[in-house]
Amino acid sequence: MIAAIARKEFLDAWRDGRFRIAAVVTLALLGVALLLAWQQVTRARAERAAAAALERENWLNQGEKNSHSAGHYGVYVFTPLAPLAVFDRGLEPFVGTTVFLEAHRQNQAAFLPAQDATAMRRFGELTAATGLQLLVPLLIVLLTFGALAGERERGTLRQVLSLGVRPRDLVLGKALGLGAALAALLLPVALFGAVALSKLPGGDVSGGWVRLAWLGGAYALYLAAILAGCLAVSAVASTARAALATLLVCWAANAVIAPRLASDFAQRLLPTPKLVDFETAMNKAVQEGLDGHNPRNDRLQAFAQETLKKNGKTRIEELPFNFNGLVMLESERMAGEVFDHHFGKLWDRLEAQDRTVTWTGLVAPLLGLRSASMALAGTDFTQHRHFSVAAEQHRRNFVRVLNEEMMNNTAGGHHGGTAGRALWEKLPAFRYDPPPPAHALRAATPGLVVLCLWAVGAWTALLLVAPRLKPN
């Protein structure tokens, strides 16, 4: 019985002109989005690789200079672009592309792509992900609002039920049929997209297939939850018009209002510190120590005494190495602790805000999906943080090597002698390994949990209202 109903619904859906038009428009938009994103992401990746190569040349050809000057000359590194950004750009336009690594300071990534764009970007981005997140649910609304309410209005529901069809079978049949119509539309696209995405340069390195499989699962959960929810509304609504109105309101609340409200809510609950306050606190901690009671000069004095004692000398000039180099090493170490603490706190705060938004997904499923999708595509904040930490690690290594050179190169005066290309070559180019899929999966877990809850909740609701289907 269920199969027969499902087949009928499937055919009905495909014969419906409105559905066909909406489906063609949606598919066309998905295709355009993927194609253009492909072009943009490939171009951006090539540009960043070229810039990194040029920057390496700059570093190697900086000429003969003092090693500490080289530390101030510094190195620029560029944020990587995850291959799956073709599917979901995520936060990529809103995080900096360029990090300046220099002595003494930990800098944030600067130059957001969105700063070099028009205000149109603030309407949201047309990507395959947003198409699936916003437009396909509308397609589902269109497909389902009349499925039960419409039959009730026309009186056909009474007829069908009088034939002895069990209400639950009818509802399940409809759900399966409409779900199959949707799947017939989306599955080929998904498969084609997956094969295409896995062919991206760099797509296979970071567990592309694992990510794609989980992405598929997340979107399937989301759409299944919406399908069941819509049918449940259609089952209880008195008229098709009422069902449509309710579903459109829910759609707008989920797709348009919820993201902004939830984001504001998270900001209010866990405010982001002001830049001025953040920098003041960090500079103060560099000068006075993390506890605020241990001025930098005192600590360095104590360090000098200790060094002299260890080497059995009484004057700094008697030390067999350049003491200034050692001081540089020590103060970098001390500053590093401060940076770890303050940036760690800031980033924890931003991640906590994002998690809050994800959990508000219990009210609006889009928020859960958005977070899971970005995490799996590798375009969420945790992955930007992973990169920032790696860049900072690179900065510390490179400053350490330069300071060690200064310490052992006793030829010159206060800052030691000069160094050349041989030393510059000793410092390896920055190579970033993106986090494994396990990291993405961990970041996506809250969103996936939210989606599972929604899917289970919506299908339970549908099964609960089904037996009580009113014929009119």
Partner 1 sequence: MTSHLFRLELRLLVRERAAWVLLGLFAAALGYGLWNGGRVAGRQREAAAALAQDTEAFQAQVRQHLGQQAIDPKAIAGRGTMAVLPPAPLPLLATGQSDLSPGHETVVLWRFAASGDTRSELENPSHLLAGRFDLAFVLVWLFPLFLLALVYDLMAGDRESGTLRLALAQGVTPWRWMILRALARALPMLMLAALGTLAAGFFGGSGGTGLRLMLALAVVLAYGLFWVALAIAVNAVARSAASAATSLGAAWVLLVLVAPTLLNVTVETLYPTPSRPELVAAGRKASGEAEKRGGELLNSFYRDHPELAPPGQQADFAAQHLTVQTEVGRAVEPVRQKFDEQLARQQTAVGQWRFLSPAIAMHEALTDLAGTGYWRHRAFRDQVTAFKKSVADFYTPKIHKRETITMADYEKMPRFVFREEPSGAWMNRASAGLGGMLAFAFVLAGLAMVNLRPARLGSMTA
Which of 54, 205, 269, 302 binds partner 1 (CB under 8 A)? It is 54
Kindly tell me which of 232 and 375 has the beta carbon lying closer to partner 1: 375
Q: How far is the CB of 391 from partner 1 (least distance, A)?
A: 13
The Cα–Cα gap between 78 and 98 comes to 5
Contact characters 23-52, partner 1, x per CB under 8 A: ------x--xx--x--xx--xx--xx-xxx
Residue 15 engages partner 1 in binding (rule: CB under 8 A)? no
| String of DSSP letters for 261-287 | HHHHHHHHHSPPPPHHHHHHHHHHHHH
Kindly tell me which of 108 and 460 has the beta carbon lying closer to partner 1: 108
233: tokens are 């509304």
Among residue numbers 120 through 139, which ones bind partner 1 (CB under 8 A)?
A: 120-126, 130, 134-135, 138
Q: How far is the CB of 26 from partner 1 (least distance, A)?
A: 10
Contact characters 214-243, partner 1, x per CB under 8 A: --------------------------xx--
The Cα–Cα gap between 128 and 35 comes to 9
Half-sphere exposure of 126 (CA within 13 A, CB side): 13
Q: How far is the CB of 159 from partner 1 (least distance, A)?
A: 21
Kindly tell me which of 97 and 331 has the beta carbon lying closer to partner 1: 97
The Cα–Cα gap between 291 and 298 comes to 14
Among residue numbers 89 through 118, which ones bind partner 1 (CB under 8 A)?
A: 90-91, 93-98, 100, 107-108, 110-118
Kindly tell me which of 119 and 163 has the beta carbon lying closer to partner 1: 119
Q: How far is the CB of 270 from partner 1 (least distance, A)?
A: 9
Q: How far is the CB of 198 from partner 1 (least distance, A)?
A: 23
Who contacts 372 (Cβ-Cβ below 8 Å, separation ≥6)? Answer: 214, 218, 444, 446, 447, 448, 450, 451
Kindly tell me which of 212 and 262 has the beta carbon lying closer to partner 1: 262
How far is C-alpha 104 from the geometric centre of its chain's CA atoms? 29
Kindly tell me which of 201 and 273 has the beta carbon lying closer to partner 1: 273
Kindly tell me which of 135 and 458 has the beta carbon lying closer to partner 1: 135
Among residue numbers 140 through 159, which ones bind partner 1 (CB under 8 A)?
A: 142, 146
Kindly tell me which of 1 and 54 has the beta carbon lying closer to partner 1: 54
Among residue numbers 354 through 383, which ones bind partner 1 (CB under 8 A)?
A: 354, 357, 381
Query: Do 37 and 87 form a contact (C-beta atoms < 8 A)?
Result: yes
The Cα–Cα gap between 336 and 321 comes to 23
Kindly tell me which of 196 and 346 has the beta carbon lying closer to partner 1: 346
Among residue numbers 274 through 333, which ones bind partner 1 (CB under 8 A)?
A: 274-276, 278
DSSP 412: S
Which burial class, exposed, middle or buried, applies to 438 when counting CB atoms under 10 A from its CB (0-12, 13-18, 19+)? exposed
How far is C-alpha 275 from the geometric centre of its chain's CA atoms? 23
Which of 148, 185, 244, 407 binds partner 1 (CB under 8 A)? It is 244
Q: Which stretch binds partner 1 (CB under 8 A): 187-195, 280-288, 351-359, 405-413?
A: 351-359
Residue 146 phi/psi, 5-degree rounding, is -95, -5
Number of residues that bind partner 1 (CB under 8 A): 87
% helix, strand, coil for the chain, step of 5: 75, 5, 20
Kindly tell me which of 42 and 307 has the beta carbon lying closer to partner 1: 42
309: tokens are 């004692």
Kindly tell me which of 111 and 192 has the beta carbon lying closer to partner 1: 111
147: tokens are 């499925």
Best CA proximity match to 228, nearest among 467, 449, 464, 468: 464
The helix/strand/coil state of 208 is helix
The Cα–Cα gap between 32 and 284 comes to 51
Q: Cite the beta strand spans of 35-185 per DSSP E.
A: 65-66, 75-78, 98-102, 105-106
Contact characters 56-75, partner 1, x per CB under 8 A: -xx--xxx------------
Q: How far is the CB of 233 from partner 1 (least distance, A)?
A: 15
Bridge partners (DSSP) of residue 416 are: 413
Contact characters 427-466, partner 1, x per CB under 8 A: ----------------------------------------
Q: Provide the terminal-to-terminal Cα distance of the chain, rounded to the nearest Å.
A: 22
Among residue numbers 383 through 402, which ones bind partner 1 (CB under 8 A)?
A: 384
Query: Do 391 and 110 form a contact (C-beta atoms < 8 A)?
Result: no
Which of 17, 119, 164, 310 binds partner 1 (CB under 8 A)? It is 119
Kindly tell me which of 62 and 287 has the beta carbon lying closer to partner 1: 62
The Cα–Cα gap between 358 and 229 comes to 20
Q: Which stretch binds partner 1 (CB under 8 A): 195-203, 258-266, 306-314, 461-469?
A: 258-266
